[in-house]
Structure 1
Amino acid sequence: MATHSPLATDAAKAPRNNTPASAGRQILKQTQFELLLTSRRGENVLVTLIIPVMLLIFFASLNIIPVNKGESAATFLLPGILAIAIMAAGMVNLGIATAYERYYGVLKRLGSSPLSRSGLIIAKIISILVLEVVQVLLLVGVAVAFYGWRPVGSLPFALLSIVLGTVTFSALGLAMAGALRAEMTLAGANALFLVFILLGGGILPLEHLPAPIAAIAQLLPASALTQALQQTMAHNGTFPLYPILLLTLWAIVILFVAIRTFKWE
């Protein structure tokens, strides 16, 4: 049985109020509901948390990752695995869950509430950011405990990259969920996830790909996020201008598309 948002339940009891303060309260209330739903999707959250950890352990344990002398494989792998975790949480987990909320009529009920489409999207993205706090702590804990990784680089730039990546891939998942059937979203999100793993540069460096494929991969949001994290988590911690600009462009475009095309039913 589908779980209904308190906003939808209370929709008939209160008139619409479109003031900024009211919109903020609606987003906060929906965010709390999204976090509650996330906690109840235990199997999805488990996959979202465990797959990136398993990828880190698997590839860090092999001697196939190109690393500098004295560095562990986790130094190269961790930024890319963090990017994969962000894609898994936003595009796959959120996209598929929202698609089935639409299929079961949960979003239709929300459409009659004071919550706007943009408010719902913002609330869902915030809930994914909370989930990613757990992802980051788990991945960093594994890298530190088992592979001797130590934090270097610029924390503010890394956080900026994570937030931009979250907005981009959460919006991409919501764009699919709001415009496609649930089955199509399920297939499309998983297919894109596989493509982005292969072409994101987090596990296999882009220079190892054929030149035409590498040129295309350089324009994808997955490689932009990976490169932004790699540069901000390097020893010098430089500001990744091109990846950040590209990721920002993707975030704006995909978020705009998600808000304009999102349908409640």
Structure 2
Amino acid sequence: MSAGTFTPSPGAAPLARMIGAQAAFETRMLLRNGEQLLLTIVIPSLLLVLFSTVDIIDTGAGDPVDFLAPGVLALAVMSTAFTGQAIATGFERRYGVLKRLGASPLPRWGLMCAKTLSVLVTEILQITLLALIAFALGWSPEGNPLSVLLLLALGTAAFSGLGLLMAGTLRAEATLAAANLVFLLLLVGGGVIVPLDRFPAGAESVLALLPISALSGGLRDVLRDGAALPWSELGILTVWAVLGLGAAARFFRWE
């Protein structure tokens, strides 16, 4: 081949490169969205600072930030993996974006992998920022970091499954309303800010089975109380992850 002569080589890019490019695009879109930033970063940060510095809610013995920081970390995971992902994916489905991406060389399972990577990158940014704020407020975490990572991974899987299930079965407007409503309800009744033992005994038993309660309670057991592995909370999150991801794979509609 002589200099300056090029031979066309049509074809898709390697799969890993396609997934990486789509994940980077999804992350940029998320971080450019002011409403999503409010939900994923601003609200958890404000809640952490407010309730750690103002004596509004009785969080029990010890420094309030030691109770609040694990709950706010769980809230950050839910805001990104469930609420933010459900809303964004729901409107992508409505506007035909998912249909067009589904016809691209990137396979549909690759698109889901890219969305998952985007969620994980966003969560790393959230957790880093919230941890720095908590440390500035006097947080003194304990426990095994591997246990924390396992809880966060299972929590992400559980909330991602539920978010994709909602986005893939409801209309975009209904997803927007339902995801925000669920976020508010679980913020109040999921042990994030208000301890579950402040609720009536019957309600406490039911609320403890929610994924946000299991994640916030498990993180609190490890980071505040120094527990090794909170098996009960891990079991609850595993069940939610299996059910949520399984239902999303079965019922998700691309258009």
TM-score, normalized by the shorter chain, greater than 0.5: yes
Deviation at 1:138, TM superposition (A): 1.2
Bigger radius of gyration among the two: 2
Distance in 1 (CA, whole Å) between partners of 2:117 and 2:39 is 20
Distance in 1 (CA, whole Å) between partners of 2:37 and 2:252 is 24
Distance in 2 (CA, whole Å) between partners of 1:204 and 1:56 is 12
Q: Please name the residue that 1:100 is paired with.
A: 91
Deviation at 1:251, TM superposition (A): 0.6
Deviation at 1:123, TM superposition (A): 1.7
Deviation at 1:235, TM superposition (A): 4.1
1:119 and 2:107 are equivalent in the alignment: no
Deviation at 1:169, TM superposition (A): 1.0
1:42-57 matches, cutoff 5 A: 42-57=34-49
Distance in 2 (CA, whole Å) between partners of 1:254 and 1:14 is 35
CA RMSD in angstroms, aligned pairs only:
1.9
Deviation at 1:250, TM superposition (A): 0.6
Distance in 2 (CA, whole Å) between partners of 1:14 and 1:176 is 34
Deviation at 1:23, TM superposition (A): 4.9
Q: Please name the residue that 1:7 is paired with.
A: none
Q: Please name the residue that 2:78 is paired with.
A: 87
Distance in 2 (CA, whole Å) between partners of 1:220 and 1:46 is 24
Q: Please name the residue that 2:63 is paired with.
A: 72
1:174 and 2:164 are equivalent in the alignment: yes
Q: Please name the residue that 2:5 is paired with.
A: none
* Higher mean C-alpha deviation, range 39-48 or range 157-166: 39-48
Stretches of structure 2 lacking an aligned partner (at least 5 in a row): 1-9
Deviation at 1:156, TM superposition (A): 0.8
Deviation at 1:234, TM superposition (A): 2.4
In structure 2, the CA distance between the partners of 1:235 and 1:212, relative to structure 1 (3 Å rule), is: closer
Distance in 1 (CA, whole Å) between partners of 2:141 and 2:20 is 33
Q: Write the letter of the residue equivalent to 2:23.
A: T
TM-score by length of 1: 0.86
Deviation at 1:134, TM superposition (A): 1.2
Query: In the TM superposition, what whole-angstrom CA distance separates every residue of 1:6-51 from its partner, at most 9, and x where no partner exists?
Result: xxxxxxx647x9xxxx654443332122123223324422431000
Query: In the TM superposition, what whole-angstrom CA distance separates every residue of 1:90-110 from its partner, at most 9, and x where no partner exists?
Result: 111111011111111111101
Q: May I ask how many residue pairs the two structures share in their alignment?
A: 245
Q: Write the letter of the residue equivalent to 2:211.
A: P
Deviation at 1:194, TM superposition (A): 1.6
TM-score by length of 2: 0.89
Q: Please name the residue that 1:40 is paired with.
A: 32
Distance in 2 (CA, whole Å) between partners of 1:169 and 1:151 is 24
Distance in 2 (CA, whole Å) between partners of 1:40 and 1:203 is 28
Distance in 2 (CA, whole Å) between partners of 1:168 and 1:27 is 22
1:195 and 2:188 are equivalent in the alignment: no
Q: Please name the residue that 1:153 is paired with.
A: 143
Whether contact under 8 Å (1:94, 1:174) holds in the other structure is yes
SS at match of 2:209: coil
Distance in 2 (CA, whole Å) between partners of 1:115 and 1:181 is 25
Query: In the TM superposition, what whole-angstrom CA distance separates every residue of 1:164-201 from its partner, at most 9, and x where no partner exists?
Result: 11111122111111111000100110111122112211
Whether contact under 8 Å (2:59, 2:194) holds in the other structure is no
Distance in 1 (CA, whole Å) between partners of 2:30 and 2:244 is 23
Distance in 1 (CA, whole Å) between partners of 2:123 and 2:116 is 11
Whether contact under 8 Å (2:67, 2:224) holds in the other structure is no
